[in-house]
Chains A and B, each alone.
Chain A
Amino acid sequence: MPSYDTLIIGGGHNGLVNAAYLARAGKKVLVLEKRHLVGGAAVTEEIYPGFKFTEFSYVVSLLRPEIVRDLNLPAHGLEILPLPSTFTPMLNGDYIAFWDDHEETHNEIARHSRKDADAYDEYGRLMYHMAKAVRPIIGMIPPDPTSLSPNDLRGMLKMGMHMRGLGEEKFYQLFKLMTMSSGDYLDEWFETDALKGTKAASGIIGTFMGPRSPGTAYVLLHHYMGEIDGAFRAWGFAKGGTGGISNSIANAARSFGAEIRCNAGVAHVIVKNGRAVGVALDNGDEIYANVIVSSLDPKRTFLKLIDEKELPNDFVNDIKRYKTRGSSGKVNLALDALPNFTAIPKKEMVMQTLRGAISISPSVEYLERAYDDAKYGNFSQRPYMDMIIPSLIDPGMAPPGKHVMSIFVQYAPYNLNGGWNNEQRDAFGDAVIDTLSQFAPNLKEIILHRQVLTPWDIEQITGLTEGNIFAGELALHQLFFLRPSPQWANYRTPLHNFYQCGSGTHPGGGIMGAGGRLAAMEILKDSK
């Protein structure tokens, strides 16, 4: 007799959301996490005494508001602090900034181009409408278009009606966004290089494509879909770092009776007669349950935890060709003081600027060249970077007077020529610091500690295959009913009683939690 209704493999945010929803519905749930702490790629760790790093994922905007509500996360410690601005220093010493105040942003863009300032408002409106148009799809179980089952046909119909309901104009706009490159798309709107570079950057995050690759305009939209308290477009920082989000979800799950066990890596899934019946842990313990859910990425789930023989050939091939190329790294710094970005024109602007995000994305061409390095197997000599200084937003992140800086870096290919080693990791870290020092000359002098994470490190620590932060690339052919594999996009798998709920399922990565929630709905449906 199994001792649990459900075992969830992996205590990342999706696993935890899944656990919380199932526990809330009265299931007896056990979450198994390989590491000593929950959160997966959404963790905060004190790597150097007194300095808390948001090690991997560092900002939040995509977390589904219904999850925040359903699980009452604020009561369990979730607090989102605003990240009000983005500041892009330019190579010529100037800058472009996007503030939370509409008028200020308008004036700032107009300083570069009046035409762009006007277009920016219209662009924002269109993106808002597009995000609204996509929202219902994000919250939908992808129907299988090849299936004739009433559920799938109903899903297809719903989807068709939704598309028709958008009206022709919005449908075409959406189609364009789905198929164009972010570079081409932005060229239709704007003329200022640094504006286009900064906007295009959000179209390439987590992908192994350059801003001139078609399909990146969609990722641009994906990043527009953030909602905090119902407000579109806002990015935020969780108090205590992204680990704070994971902890609040874990707390919610526990409050509903879920059990969470850390230091409990799963070695493999136990399959009997085509049914998943339990898991074997790294230490040899076996645990049995009626339902097993994996929140790991599809490759790790199906190619590492399960014997290929238990799965249909076609399915295994689909998972093998599912693309998970890691393309980004992370550099976390402990700082003795604040960096002096020379592009900040006035002293009184310094704190306001540093409290927001700083983006190294002076032009679309800069990003494209960074990609060129990566596509031939090298890390970018002049990478795209997105950074924040969490200690300015949440003083608890560093000792008084000191700071932590979180730098997202792209591109760094998982399959580096010659492979990653200590030397290459250092060289990558140096390329980041050198590039940044051009904009903040005192940087090298104020670094107390430096943590460099390559895609290889990300894979080693978090388990994400190839270090892909979205647990599978957000490419058009890996979305919706194709994510992670045709016919198995509804969180079920070819194995009975075995489900998937990670970012490798619809609707994909970012700290969204949608996969965990939708999978829980499906599991509950099946258990009726």
Chain B
Amino acid sequence: MSHSFDFIIIGAGLNGLTAAAYLAKAGKKVLVLERREIIGGAAVTEEIFPGFKLDTVTHNVAGFDANIARDLNLAQYGLELIQPDVSVFAPQRDGGAITLWRDDAKTADSIRVFSPNDATKWRAFRERMAKLARVLDSIHALTPPSITTTNPAELFSLGKLGLQVRGLGKRDMPEFLRALPMPIAELLDYEFENDLLKGALAAGGIHGLMLGPLGVGTTYNFLRGVNDGVVRATTFVRGGVGKLADALASAAKARGAEIRTNAHVVQIRVRDQRATGVVLASGEEINAPQIISSADPKQTFLQLIDPIELDPTFCARIRNIRTRGVFAKMNLALDALPNFKNATEEQLRGTISISPNMMYLERAYDDAKYGNISQQPYLEITIPTLLDPSRAPQGKHVLSVWMQYVGERLETGDLRLKNEQLGDLVIRTLSDYAPNLQSLVLHSQVLSPCDLQEIYSLPNGDINHGQTTLDQFLFMRPVPHFANYRTPLEGLFFCGAGAHPGGIPCAAGRNAAREILK
């Protein structure tokens, strides 16, 4: 039987599109099927309110590997990344704030107001974190090797990694191994004395996790957010994160790939332990010799495939993947720039972090671990219009809020009923720092974990398709034996954020394409 396509890719999120672009570039005939009317997955820019282009879910693509942009010529397809000079503006209620800049000296100046001691330590700390994060970058770019492998190529990459880890040297190598399973609070308590600084950094450790800063493994998550040497880096895309998806799509299409929206895959067809095609909600069937899913593992293996085709142990493991909805998203269209106490416009261009101290974050987590919404949540805010005015009508702004934690278990109730409550909580919390905010709101949108699951297919609302904790890291992700983007079924591959290395923009898609082309 002849097929019109070599590959069908399920889902046009960043990973699906990246895989598509790489495969198309290698001369493969690719069809991407997207359930929604627009592409991008969780990296979409939507004009929910006329004239305001909102990054509805993801608002930061820091961690995106510049090699991918080069490989796929994305600049030619309209990709322009914006990296503000400021990474984090961390205010406290009474008006003081610490600002973390790309420039170490400026950062130290900002810290010095609170702690001269911490200011002197900043550069060395940032450089050491950058060094450890670079090793992680290499690990993230790797296909997780099997520990019992005898394959020379895998052994070589394992050996190379081993050398790189050893290359950290006598001091930093044990430091690296010690840091990964360390609570971020422990690391920071040892390094610094100022609460505001520690809170601002610790927030990077809990981002997206159902863990507080006292949780083991939060240092690993913190290091994931150290990109190109910048701690808690922010990277915007001109025109909105959706433009990254658009550029990937254009690169793929330029090489002959086809992308269909409003094409909801409801089933993966399997015959004799082999994936043979997909069935759409419309009833249409499309066959191809190779299927790649960028949907999350639970959806892929427990919903799209008849359970009879899979081993029960494998299915049990997929069910046990820990996906946790921990955040809600609030997007605001504003009449003017809110007035953050004592802040210059320049300071607001990166991420604004409401994380006054580590215990604030830990208490926010306490509420969530018993299933409640944090009474005093951690907020991460961006105002992309400051560097990209094209995103809103003249003089107006968009403000994007990541609110953590929402601990409600999805099955226990309809969270949408709580959207209003969530929105009020965000505005109330934020008003302590930017008192005139409420009066500037033209439109607002709240997305609870329930919405994030329904609209954006994030399992339980988990942005990473599975918590980025150490037990779901490397060869454990998504499940043991199948961390190399392959699955128990012949002809079925996996390229979503549920695979190694999790929700780092485009990384799993690139790794999977490399593996599939082997």
B3-11, B47-55, B176-184, B384-392: which one contacts chain A? Answer: B176-184
Interface stretch, picked from A20-28, A176-184, A239-247, A286-294, is: A176-184
Contact between A314 and B171, CB atoms less than 8 A apart: yes
Cβ–Cβ < 8 Å partners of A171 in chain B:
147-148
* B301 in the interface (beta carbon within 8 A): no
CA distance A482 to B181 in the complex (A): 12
Q: Is A372 an interface residue (CB 8 A)?
A: yes
Q: Which residues from chain B contact A482 at a C-beta distance below 8 Å?
A: 174, 177-178
Q: How distant is B13 from chain A, measured CB to nearest CB, in Å?
A: 27
Q: B366: which A residues are within 8 A, CB to CB?
A: 372
Closest A residue to B363 using CB positions: A376
Chain B residues 170 to 192 lying within 8 A of chain A, measured CB to CB, are 170-171, 173-175, 177-182, 186, 190
**A163-B147, A164-B148, A168-B480 known; A214-B174 Cβ under 8 A:** no
Tell me whether A487 and B170 are in contact (CB under 8 A): yes
211-227 of chain B: CB within 8 A of chain A: 211, 214-217
Q: How far is the CA of A168 from the CA of B148 in the complex (A)?
A: 6
- Asked whether, in the complex, the Cβ of B166 is within 8 Å of the Cβ of A214, the reply is no
Task: Identify the A interface with B (CB < 8 A).
Answer: 145-146, 163-164, 167-169, 171-172, 175-176, 179-180, 184, 188, 209, 212-215, 314, 321, 323, 365, 368, 372, 375-376, 475-477, 481-482, 486-487
Q: How far is the CA of A184 from the CA of B216 in the complex (A)?
A: 13
Residue pair B148, A167 in contact (C-beta under 8 Å): yes
B148 touches A481 (CB 8 A): no
Chain B nearest CB, measured from A333 CB (Å):
33
13 extra interchain contacts, Cβ-Cβ under 8 A, other than A179-B469, A375-B214, A375-B362?
A163-B147, A168-B146, A169-B480, A172-B476, A175-B475, A176-B471, A180-B471, A215-B181, A215-B217, A372-B366, A476-B181, A477-B179, A487-B174
- Tell whether B35 is near chain A: CB-to-CB under 8 Å: no
**Most A CB within 10 A of own CB, among B173, B174, B180, B469:** B174
B:439-477 near A, CB below 8 Å: 469-471, 473, 475-476
Complex Cα–Cα for A475 and B169 (A): 23
Q: Within the assembled complex, what's the spacing in Å between the Cα atoms of A171 and B146? A: 10
Bound CA–CA A317/B381 (angstroms): 37
In the complex, the answer to whether B182 meets A477 with C-beta atoms within 8 Å is yes
Contacts of A172 in B (CB 8 A): 475-476, 480-481
Candidate in A168, A172, A477 with the most chain B CB atoms within 10 angstroms? A477
Give CA–CA (A314, B369) in the complex, Å: 38
Query: Bound complex: CA of A481 vs CA of B148, how far in Å?
Result: 23
Q: Which residues of A contact B476 (CB under 8 A)?
A: 172, 175-176, 179
Q: Is the CB of B181 within 8 A of A477?
A: yes
CB-based contact B370/A146 at 8 Å: no
A171 to B144, CA, bound (A): 14
The 7 closest A-B pairs by CB, nearest first: A486-B174, A172-B480, A476-B181, A179-B471, A215-B216, A179-B470, A214-B216
Q: 0/1 per residue, B199-235, Cβ < 8 Å to A?
A: 0000000000001001111000000000000000000
Please judge, given known A-B contacts A214-B211, A365-B370, A368-B369, whether A164 and B147 are in contact too, CB under 8 Å: yes
Cβ-defined contact, A168 with B174, below 8 A:
no
CA A180 – CA B321 in complex, angstroms? 12
Nearest CB of chain A from residue B429's CB, rounded to whole Å: 21
- The complex places the Cα of A465 from the Cα of B414 at a distance, in Å, of 50
Q: Is B320 an interface residue (CB 8 A)?
A: yes
Q: Which residue of A lies closest to B172 (CB)?
A: A146
A165 to chain B minimum Cβ distance, whole angstroms, is: 9
Q: Within B3-47, which residues are at the interface with A (CB < 8 Å)?
A: none
The chain A residue with its CB closest to the CB of B179 is A477
Query: A145-B173, A184-B322, A368-B369 known; A476 and B471 CB under 8 Å?
Result: no
Q: Take A168-B146, A188-B320, A214-B470 as given contacts and tell me if A179 and B170 are in contact as well, using a CB distance cutoff of 8 Å.
A: no
Q: Which residue among A146, A184, A212, A487 has the maximum number of chain B CB atoms within 10 Å of its CB?
A: A146
How many B residues have CB within 8 A of the partner chain? 38
Residues of A within 8 Å of B359, CB to CB, are 376
* CA–CA, A314 and B172, complex, Å: 12
Given the complex, which residues of A lie within 8 Å of B182, measured CB to CB? 475, 477
List of B residues within 8 angstroms of A188 by Cβ? 320
Distance (whole angstroms) from the CB of B44 to the closest CB of chain A:
31
**Contact indicator A213/B214 (Cβ below 8 Å):** yes
Closest to A376 in B: B359
A184 to B, closest residue via Cβ: B322
From residue A244, how far is it (CB to closest CB) to chain B in Å? 36
User: Is there contact, CB below 8 Å, between A146 and B469?
Assistant: no
Least Cβ–Cβ distance between B23 and chain A, in angstroms? 29
Q: Which residues of A contact B169 (CB under 8 A)?
A: 146
Q: How far is the CA of A336 from the CA of B326 in the complex (A)?
A: 52
5 contacts between A and B (CB under 8 A): A146-B169, A146-B173, A175-B471, A179-B473, A214-B470
Which B residues are CB-close (under 8 A) to A146? 166, 169-170, 173-174
A213→B177 contact, CB < 8 A: no
Distance between Cα atoms of A168 and B484 in the complex (Å): 14
A167 proximity list for chain B (CB < 8 A): 148
Residues of A within 8 A of B211 (CB): 214
Residue of A nearest to B472 (CB): A179
- Chain B residue contacts of A486, Cβ below 8 A: 174-175, 178
Among the listed B166, B174, B216, which residue makes an inter-chain contact with A481, where contact means beta carbons less than 8 Å apart? B174
Of chain B, the residue at the smallest CB distance from A368 is B369
A177 smallest CB distance to B (angstroms) = 9
Instruction: Determine the distance from Cα of A365 to Cα of B214 in the docked complex, in whole angstroms.
Output: 17
Roughly how many angstroms separate A487 CA and B190 CA in the complex, as a whole number?
A: 20
Question: Which residues of chain A come closer than 8 Å to B166, judged between CB atoms?
Answer: 145-146
Tell me whether A209 and B216 are in contact in the complex, defined as CB-CB below 8 angstroms, given that A171-B147, A365-B370, A476-B181 are known contacts: yes
Tell me which residues across on chain A come within 8 A of B180, comparing CB atoms. Answer: 477
Of the candidates A164, A214, A323, the one whose C-beta lies within 8 Å of that of B469 is A214
Residue of A nearest to B359 (CB): A376
A213 vs chain B, min Cβ distance (A): 6
Q: In the docked arrangement, what's the CA distance between A365 and B366, Å?
A: 12
Instruction: Give the chain B neighbours of A481 by CB distance below 8 A.
Output: 174
Which A residues lie within 8 Å of B177 (CB)?
145, 477, 482
Report chain A residues within 8 Å CB of B214: 209, 213, 375
Determine how close the nearest CB of chain B comes to the CB of A14; give it in whole angstroms. Answer: 24
Residues of B contacting A180 with CB < 8 Å? 471
Closest chain A residue, CB of each to CB of B191: A321
The docked-state distance in angstroms from the alpha carbon of A372 to that of B217 is: 19
Docked pose: A368 CA to B370 CA in angstroms: 10
Would A214 and B320 count as touching, CB distance under 8 A? Answer: no
Please report the C-alpha to C-alpha distance between residue A372 and residue B370 in the assembled complex, in whole angstroms: 11
Q: How far is the CA of A205 from the CA of B2 in the complex (A)?
A: 63
Alpha-carbon gap, A123 to B467, bound state (A): 24
- Given the known interface contacts A145-B173, A168-B480, A482-B174, the answer about A212 and B369 at a Cβ–Cβ threshold of 8 Å is yes
Question: A214-B469, A215-B216 are contacts. A475–B181 as well, Cβ < 8 Å?
Answer: yes
| B 282-321 contacts with A by CB, 8 A | 320
Specify the chain B residue showing the minimal Cβ separation from A176: B471
Residue of B nearest to A208 (CB): B214
Instruction: Select from chain A the residue with minimum beta-carbon distance to B168.
Output: A146
Interface string of B145-168 (1 = CB under 8 A from A): 011100000000000000000100
Bound together, the chains give a CA A376 to CA B171 distance in angstroms of 33
Residue of B nearest to A479 (CB): B181
Which listed residue, A175, A365, A475, touches B216 by the CB 8 Å rule?
A475
Nearest B residue to A478, CB-CB: B178
Contact at B362–A476, with CB atoms within 8 Å? no
Q: Which residues of A contact B147 (CB under 8 A)?
A: 163-164, 168, 171
